[in-house]
Each structure stands twice: as C-alpha cells, then as structure tokens.
Chain A
Amino acid sequence: SAVISQKPSRDICQRGTSLTIQCQVDSQVTMMFWYRQQPGQSLTLIATANQGSEATYESGFVIDKFPISRPNLTFSTLTVSNMSPEDSSIYLCSVERLAGDNEQFFGPGTRLTVL
C-alpha cells in the first residue's frame, strides 16, 4: 500500500484566513484526490488532481475557494481560502496507484477547526 502523509495533522484557524494542506506520497501515483469530511458526516470528494493539469472540481466546490496544486507525481496541496466556521472539517488526501488497479488509499487527514 502507498504511504501517505499530510501536513499539518490539525490546525485551528481564524475566520478569513487561508490554510494550505500538503499531501506527500512515497511512490508515484497517477491521480490524487481531496476529500472533505464534515463533523459526523461522510466523505465528499472536493476535486481530482492530475499532475500537469488543472484540477477537476466536483459540484459545489470551486477553484477560488479550494485551489489545488499538483507539481509532481508524489505531491499535492489543497488550500482552504477565506475560511469560515463551516469549513471546519477533516480534509483527506487520497491516491490511486500508478498501476491503475483501483486501489485507493487515504492519508491520515488534516483536522481543521475554524473559529
């Protein structure tokens, strides 16, 4: 399985500020995904990040609010911009292995609290 790390593991932020979350994978992967898990809820896909191209956002999520970078095959960042308390969630990075065999693994998550 791929080893995925995320930074920071948790943070408490003030309303109106922005936070950038990093996701690092120990092997090259084709697709990286960013999910949000609001308190007590299921996971919702924010966007799909393919290396060398713009991220593809799901309905309800926009690039201005959640800009994503994917500079290489092992790294991605998600920024939560102009935060409000409603953005308090766990943000999880997920990867699909290069083999494309549909194995998808998740990082440990970043627990964000917005005051």
Chain B
Amino acid sequence: GQNIDQPTEMTATEGAIVQINCTYQTSGFNGLFWYQQHAGEAPTFLSYNVLDGLEEKGRFSSFLSRSKGYSYLLLKELQMKDSASYLCAVRGGFSGGYNKLIFGAGTRLAVHP
C-alpha cells in the first residue's frame, strides 16, 4: 500500500530551528517533494530530493534517506510567516502514464513570538 506519515502539528519559536519528519512506504519511488500551504491557498513548492542526502535552499533544507524511507524538512531562523502546513509528497505511482504525487496529511506549524 501507499503510506506517508508526518506529525500533525508542531509549534516553534520565532528565530529557532524546526525539523519536520516524513516517513513513507510506497509501491515505487521517483522523488520526494516538500510543499508549503497557507490556509485557503494552494501549495507552493519548497524542495525536491531524489538522491540520498541534503539539499539546501536558503533557510530551508531537505534530507532524504531512501533506504530508510525517511525525509525531513529543516526550517532555520523561523519567521512568523512560516506558520503554515507543510506537505510531504512522494512521486511513486503511475496515473495516466505519469508518476503521480502521493501526499501526506501535512504538518501544521505554528510559529510564536
């Protein structure tokens, strides 16, 4: 089956660092994505990992271990505007001849002063 797990909610302090974990079990794997979604808005792309290791993009970093079925998103120097849901998505199945994205339930992050 297809299963993607991530914590439901997290809280953190402005200026701090937070790590959001994601574990997955999918029938196939062709990349892992992290998206940010503010309430009532569409997701926006944050990062993409297809090989093991760390990808860094400014305040955001994402790590992948394919052997462990594990990824994390690291957010540094937290700002109030980082309060949002963070979605882990695995590209792992075929839909219409294209690898489809399977989304986790999302982690709601609340950043407080």
A binds B: no
Which B residues are closer than 8 A to A by beta carbons? none
